[in-house]
Amino acid sequence: MKTVATNRRASFDYEITDTLEAGLMLTGQEAKSCRMGHANLAGAYVSFLHGKPVLKSSTIAAYPYASGLETYNPGRDRELLLSTRDIERLNSALAERGVSLIPLEMRAGKYIKVLLGLGKGKSRLDKRQKVREKEIRKKLRKGEEY
C-alpha cells in the first residue's frame, strides 16, 4: 500500500503508545482523489459520535474530473471502519485522562486505510528537550562542539 498522506506533527505533539489500522468510509470521488495524493491529515483527530469512530478535520480535495463539485465538502466528517472489539478497546483507552486518538498516515491500495495512533500529549518541556537533542546530534555529525 502506498502512503498518501502523513500527519508529521503527530509524533512531535504526542507520545504514541499503540497503533491500529482502520478502514475509511469514502465516496467514489474521495477514494480517487486519495489515490492521487490529494489528502491532508494536518490537524485531524478521531472522536466518537453515537458510539462510532469518526475522522474529523481531515481534508480530501475534490476529484478534478468528477461532476457535482458544487455540493462537495472537502472537510466533512468521515466514518472509520473498525471491529466491535477494537471500538470497545479504544473507548476504554480514551476514557483515561490525556489520551487521544490521532491519525498518523493514510494509505491507498485497493482500499483506503488510516493508521491510528493512541497517544498522550507531550508537555512543552518534552518538546523543547527533543529539539535540543536533535540540534546536538546535528552538531556532532558535523564535527562541531556543542
Burial of 54: CB neighbours in 10 Å, binned 0-12, 13-18, 19+:
middle
Total count of domains within the chain: 1
Q: 3-state secondary structure string, the chain?
A: CEEEEECCCHHHHEEEEEEEEEEECCCHHHHHHHHCCCEECCCCEEEEECCEEEEECCEECCCCCCCCHHHCCCCCCEEEECCHHHHHHHHHHHCCCCEEEEEEEEEECCCEEEEEEEEEECCHHHHHHHHHHHHHHHHHHHCCCC
Q: By residue range, what is the domain housing residue 9?
A: 2-142
Give how far the C-alpha of residue 42 lies from the chain's centroid of Cα atoms, to the nearest Å. Answer: 8
- What is the number of alpha carbons within 13 Å of residue 51 lying toward its C-beta? 4
Tell whether the model's pLDDT for residue 23 goes beyond 80.
yes
pTM of the model: 0.82
Beta strand 78-81 pairing with 112-121: unpaired
Tell whether the model's pLDDT for residue 144 goes beyond 80.
no
Contact 127, 134 (CB under 8 A): no
pLDDT digits (tens, 9 = 90+) for 90-121: 999 988 888 999 999 999 999 999 999 999 88
Q: What's 47's domain CATH number? A: 2.40.280.10
Sign of the dihedral through C-alpha 10, 11, 15, 16? positive
Tell whether the model's pLDDT for residue 146 goes beyond 80.
no
pLDDT digits (tens, 9 = 90+) for 46-94: 999 999 999 999 999 999 888 777 788 999 999 999 999 999 999 999 8
